Chains A and B, each alone.
Chain A
Amino acid sequence: MVTRLDNYSYAWPDTEDWTLREVSLVLPQGECHCLSGASGAGKTTLALALKGLLPPGRQDGRLITAAAPGEGRAAVGVVLQNPETQILAETVGAEVAFGLENLCLPPGQMAARVRAALDAVGLELAFEHTTSHLSMGQKYRLLLAAQLVMQPALLILDEPAGQLDEGGLQSLAKIIAHQKANGLAVLLCEHRPVPLQAVIDKHWHLDAAGRLQTGSNGKPSIPSSQPAKERFDNAHPVVEVQGLRVHADDATPAWREVDLQLQAGQRALLCAPNGAGKTTLLRCLAGLLRPAQGSIRVCGQQLGKDHVNRIGYLFQNPRRQLFETTVFAEVAFSLRRQGLRREKLSARVNSTLARCHIAHLSGRSPHQLSYGQQHLVALASVLAKEPDLLLLDDPLAGLDPKAAAMVMAILIETSEQQGTTLLWTSHHQPELGDRNHVRYGIEGGRLVQY
């Protein structure tokens, strides 16, 4: 059984450009192929094409998927990016059985298939275990089980590294290796394949024109890979946190108490696994979560209402921040609220857009941009108010290496030119050259500096 595409082209309805152009691809059983490409290049489109879920647009060429013989089987399984919108049932058993219900498998045959699928991904959980209590890594493995239960010939995973930390990726690599040995073909749509390198048999790259080429595109050029070594002994403190604790009802982070000091212009990375409490700490620093104990001082003053203009916060999902009808208005919003006069506001917005390389998008609707462009717009809207402290919640998540390098370059420039203090989080060790002055992790319930 082989899945193959022969000179396959596809254009979405009501669009002139082809998203995929003359793509030829063979996915033999027992092999894992990795498909890389910039955000918006068409990786998800290709995955949906293989699954047969694309709407009827213009098509050319041939697509042959492996047949699905036997009762309760699907030819192709797909795990999409966000586990939160893919878990459809309240309990582990019902979740895994969902596909079997849709395939009309007799109920009496379901339990054994569900248990076997859970075993295949190493989830020893009772059927009645609630899905909402699972960690991100467990949720991803549950979704894998929910696909494997349908015994597909091809399994497609759309950007797993965007969701999983190092531990989660190691588990995934073991599962893929095991499934390959059982004859399953796997296609990873991933622009950060390094942690899964051991199980990948072949690399493909989808270019911006939608053409498929063999081999990965290599790493993007980085401004500099030398770690920053400046000293900040004489700089004034921007963040001073002492004995910070949160209420157990608000959050249950891996840290119990946090002490943290960051100076003006310092760049700090907090690197910890999923669920460790990175976002909780950022929310405390932004004044969004009231601590149970401890003190937070920003720019020498206790955190209060006046700090709104001094703190910038970039959320993990930029779409949560966008609401205006044009990119210009989006970036100008905070400045209008600060009461800036029109000329000064216009100059500030234009310079910020230029710094973020999106000046050409000024008149476009932010909602019609690609994910990478939306990310830059959200970043520009935060940078425009020139905050003293910039908090960034996993700012590189979901970005291809080129876009991630661009975001890092903008952040470094901002920190060096404006003296902005940066604290950003990630669940991956930095690959793009560690340009941070300080790196933190969470060990033994405390923040530790590496």
Chain B
Amino acid sequence: MFSTSLRVTQKKRQGTKGRALISAELALLLCFVLSLAAIVERSPTSLAWLTLANVLLLLIHRLDRQVLKRGIRLCLWQGGVVTGLYLLRYGPDAGLMPGLRVSWQLLLVFLPGLILFSGGSASRLAQALSKILPARSAFVLAASLKFLPLLVTEIAAIHEAQRLRGARIRPRDLLWPGNWGDLLHCLVAPVVVRVLEIADNIACAARCREFGRFPGRTCWPGDQENTP
């Protein structure tokens, strides 16, 4: 019925990923060092160097357009909220520059991870983590990251469902503190329930494929098929 095709097709097919430019271990180390530096360093010069390093990573790794767009949107939101809170607390003169700096630092903490491990690199992350963590813990950590997009989709769907039922949880509604209760009641509560349910489903799916049957695991050698 289906042709046996053990031969390897060399042509690039739609949806395939290119070969990673740096090893998963080096990516993990780079991610750790750059993120730590963004927390420790505060001077504008250091932050400028860190920014340059991230831009270089971005150029080398060529992030998926959709991920990049979402990242920029999130970054603008984060920057606006953090700087806004600083302005409220310290006023325009004393709050603007520290607010911008802290939001920039926060961005630099998460950017290396976004660049190095987004767009289909969770299995690489699992491989790297399995060298420093027990195999099962490494899988759990990598799976948690893998399912983050599903969680975001789920939160968006619940948000839409509750909005249509009359919950006051649109961004402009939440400017009024009286509506914050709706956020907890109508959004956070069902999200928590769904997260637990999804976690249970994922655990069941893993056990259906013999996860946990033996104390250790071997490791898939990689996605590059050998030419015969």
Contact = CB atoms under 8 A, between A and B. Distances in A.
A249 B68 CA distance: 13
Contacts of B185: 323
Nearest to B127: A94
A338 B166 contact: yes
Interface in B1-56: 1-6, 9, 13-17
Given A127-B223, A130-B120, A80 B157 contact: no
Chain A CB within 10 A, most for which of B190, B207, B220:
B220
Contacts of B222: 93
A12 interface: no
Nearest to B192: A323
Interface string B134-150: 00000000010011011
Name the interface size band of chain A: 35 or more
Nearest to A312: B164
B62 interface: no
Interface string A109-141: 011100110011110111111101110000000
B47 to A, nearest CB: 31
A108 B219 CA distance: 10
Contacts of A381: 165
B180 to A, nearest CB: 15
B176 interface: no
Given A88-B146, A126-B9, A74 B225 contact: no
B175 interface: no
Contacts of B160: 283, 286, 288
B211 interface: yes
Chain A CB within 10 A, most for which of B150, B164, B202:
B164
Interface stretch (A95-103, A263-271, A419-427): A95-103
A327 to B, nearest CB: 15
Given A90-B146, A128-B224, A132-B120, A146 B164 contact: no
Given A80-B201, A132-B120, A126 B211 contact: no
A310 B9 CA distance: 54
Given A115-B6, A116-B4, A84 B150 contact: yes
A90 B6 contact: no
Interface string A252-290: 000000000000000000000000000000010010100
Name the interface size band of chain B: 35 or more
Given A88-B206, A315-B157, A321 B220 contact: no
Contact of B13 (A86, A129, A320): A129
A32 B39 CA distance: 59
A9 interface: no
Nearest to B200: A85
A305 B218 CA distance: 55
Contact of B221 (A51, A84, A108, A382): A108
Given A85-B202, A98-B206, A311-B164, 17 more contacts: A48-B204, A74-B210, A82-B201, A85-B147, A86-B208, A88-B205, A90-B123, A91-B223, A93-B222, A107-B221, A110-B218, A124-B5, A128-B224, A177-B1, A178-B2, A312-B164, A337-B165
Interface of A: 48, 51, 53, 74, 77-80, 82, 84-86, 88-94, 97-108, 110-112, 115-116, 119-122, 124-130, 132-134, 146-147, 150, 174, 177-178, 249, 283, 286, 288, 308-309, 311-313, 315, 317, 319-323, 333-334, 336-338, 367, 381-382
Interface of B: 1-6, 9, 13-17, 66, 69, 120-123, 143, 146-147, 149-150, 154, 157-158, 160-167, 185-186, 189-190, 193-194, 197-198, 201-202, 204-214, 216-226
